């Protein structure tokens, strides 16, 4: 049996994905630079980019940095065609849904937040309905037509298998082992994808932030809990079952404090906001006002620490000690080029100040070596939805580049590849 035609098709598909990824990563890039970045021959790059332009996925533009009025032809660059697709990215949390509508180049078209009293205890169907309502409201606000929606990406906290769409556990649901991917797909007429929210922050950093053009880095999100996304060799690492890199649930104390995941001794049970408020309340003999969303209590605790309250300082110092141990373990395991702290809670510096970094260095296996660069990225709420949009674009780019999903509604085939980490 002659497998040569199949091998040629497979090679061309890989080359098309590599070319498209290079264009997305660089935003604007010349054909000769694509060949150098990817190792693909100049002739093949020319052929592939001609097809991508014809299909409406890529467009030509003049180099904006080239002096005008000079001799010779203007330098032509390639960029993703912004109008090829419109995608929606959404972050589901325990008290709100954040939505961004984004064009195919990654530029935000509209941003919307739908507040909820709490999603705790809700069914997957109820959460999916509220998510659909939030995306509908975003389209109304943007003035765009909903039939232009080409893909939806959703991030939520917990143990999420992105490949199967199974949520093993999340604070957003009353049940465990929820087939949320299937529930979500039933609410939309376009491809959908879900992932752990920290993974999506790593995707946002990879495409739009400090991780752009970087092959090895770690993102740590500091919110109601602690999340982690890992990019290794340019790809998002999820583990064999899609639920790896659960840094928050590494064990630091045997039979220790109760974590919201239901187990004991997790790092998050000593570092997250609910853990800090719980410890402070116990030390001061107080009852928690709101154990589900203790933002007010955390603000008060932080202000008291800054004012010199010994109990409050002790609570933060203990959390910092545990966190430094966790950071040293990450350095010892992954040896990343950069660690990025990201999220809404970055106004609290107790987890990333100089004392924590010195403790981290002292606990690494080679304390004298150069440590990874540490960056703090205060994105605010938008990063979560932006990462979900990046997931949607990743999946959409894969299907589109393979010719299964064309711009402007042409011959769409609603299929999603298994591996989208390009």
DSSP string for residues in 255-281 = T-SBPTTS-BSBTHHHHSHHHHHHHHH
Number of H helices, E strands in the chain: 12, 14
**Cα–Cα distances in angstroms (integers) from residue 320 to residues 100, 256, 357, in the given order:** 33, 17, 10
Closest C-alpha among 314, 315, 172, 333 to residue 247: 333
Contact of 101 with 109, CB cutoff 8 Å: yes
For residues 202 and 385, is the Cβ–Cβ distance under 8 A?
no
The residue among 151, 100, 158 whose CA lies nearest residue 124 is: 158
Beta bridge partners of residue 122, listed in sequence order: 173
Task: Give residue 321's pLDDT.
Answer: 93
Q: How far apart are CA 164 and CA 167, in angstroms?
A: 9
Q: Which of 55, 37, 47 is nearest to 12 (CA)?
A: 47
Cβ–Cβ < 8 Å for 99, 205: no
CA 35 – CA 33 distance, rounded (Å): 5
| CB of 111 closer than 8 Å to CB of 177 | no
Contact assessment for residue 48 and residue 28, using Cβ atoms and an 8 Å cutoff: no
Longest dimension (CA), the chain: 78
DSSP secondary structure code for residue 211 in this structure: T
CB 120 within 8 A of CB 93: no
Angstrom CA distances, 338 to 210, 278, 346, 390, stand at 9, 32, 17, 20
Give the dihedral sign, CA 259/265/267/273: positive
Structure confidence at residue 177 (pLDDT): 93
Q: What is the CA radius of gyration of the chain?
A: 23
Region label for 170, one of left (φ > 0), alpha (ψ between -120 and 50) or beta (otherwise): beta
Q: How many CB atoms lie under 10 A from the CB of residue 410?
A: 9
Evaluate whether 221 touches 198 at the Cβ level (below 8 Å). Answer: yes
The Cβ of residue 118 has, within 10 Å, a number of other Cβ atoms equal to: 14
The confidence score (pLDDT) of residue 251 equals 93
DSSP state of 244: -
pTM, two decimal places: 0.79
Looking at residue 228, what is its pLDDT? 93
Distance CA 53, CA 20 (A): 11
Contact criterion met (CB below 8 Å) for 381 and 113: yes
**Could you give the angle at the alpha carbon of 383 between the alpha carbons of 123 and 325, nearest 5°?**
90
CA distance 244 to 242: 6
Tokens, residue 401? 């580049």
Q: In what order do the strands lie in the sheet with 108-115?
A: 108-115, 96-103, 86-92, 149-156, 192-196
**How many whole angstroms separate alpha carbon 175 and alpha carbon 9?**
44
Mean pLDDT per 10-residue interval, the chain, length 422 residues: 61 88 90 94 95 92 70 82 92 89 91 77 87 95 89 92 91 90 94 91 89 92 84 89 85 90 92 84 66 66 86 89 93 93 72 88 82 84 85 81 58 36 32
């Amino acid at each position: 049996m002659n497998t040569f035609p199949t091998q040629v098709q497979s090679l061309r598909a890989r080359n098309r994905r590599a070319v498209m990824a290079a264009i997305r990563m660089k935003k604007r890039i010349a054909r000769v630079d694509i060949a150098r970045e990817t190792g693909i021959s100049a002739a093949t790059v020319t052929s592939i980019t001609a097809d991508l332009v014809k299909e409406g996925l890529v467009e030509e533009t003049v180099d904006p940095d080239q002096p005008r009025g000079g001799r010779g032809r203007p330098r032509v660059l390639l960029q993703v065609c912004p109008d090829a697709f419109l995608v929606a990215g959404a972050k589901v949390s325990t008290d709100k849904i954040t939505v961004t509508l984004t064009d195919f180049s990654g530029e935000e078209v509209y941003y919307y937040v739908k507040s909820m009293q709490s999603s705790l205890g809700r069914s997957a169907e109820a959460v999916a309905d509220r998510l659909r309502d939030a995306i509908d409201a975003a389209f109304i606000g943007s003035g765009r037509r909903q039939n232009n929606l080409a893909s939806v990406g959703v991030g939520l906290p917990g143990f999420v298998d992105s490949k199967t769409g199974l949520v093993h556990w999340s604070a957003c649901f009353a049940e465990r082992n929820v087939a949320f991917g299937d529930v979500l797909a039933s609410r939309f007429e376009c491809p959908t994808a879900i992932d752990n929210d920290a993974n999506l922050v790593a995707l946002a950093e990879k495409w739009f932030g400090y991780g752009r053009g970087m092959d090895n880095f770690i993102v740590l999100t500091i919110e109601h809990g602690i999340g982690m996304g890992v990019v290794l060799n340019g790809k998002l690492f999820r583990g064999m079952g899609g639920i790896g890199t659960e840094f928050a649930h590494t064990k630091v104390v045997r039979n220790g404090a109760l974590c919201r995941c239901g187990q004991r001794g997790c790092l998050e049970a000593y570092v997250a906001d609910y853990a800090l408020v719980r410890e402070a309340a116990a030390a001061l003999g107080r009852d928690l006002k709101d154990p589900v969303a203790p933002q007010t209590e955390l603000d008060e605790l932080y202000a008291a620490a800054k004012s010199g309250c010994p109990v409050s300082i002790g609570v933060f110092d203990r959390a910092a000690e545990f966190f430094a141990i966790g950071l040293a373990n990450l350095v010892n395991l992954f040896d990343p080029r950069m660690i990025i702290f990201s999220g809404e809670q970055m106004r609290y510096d107790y987890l990333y100040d100089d004392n924590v970094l010195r403790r981290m260095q002292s606990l690494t296996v080679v304390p004298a070596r150069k440590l990874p660069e540490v960056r703090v990225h205060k994105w605010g709420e938008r990063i979560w939805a932006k990462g979900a949009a990046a997931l949607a674009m990743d999946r959409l780019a894969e299907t589109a580049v393979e010719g299964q999903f064309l711009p402007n509604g042409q011959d769409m085939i609603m299929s999603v590849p298994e591996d989208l980490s390009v």
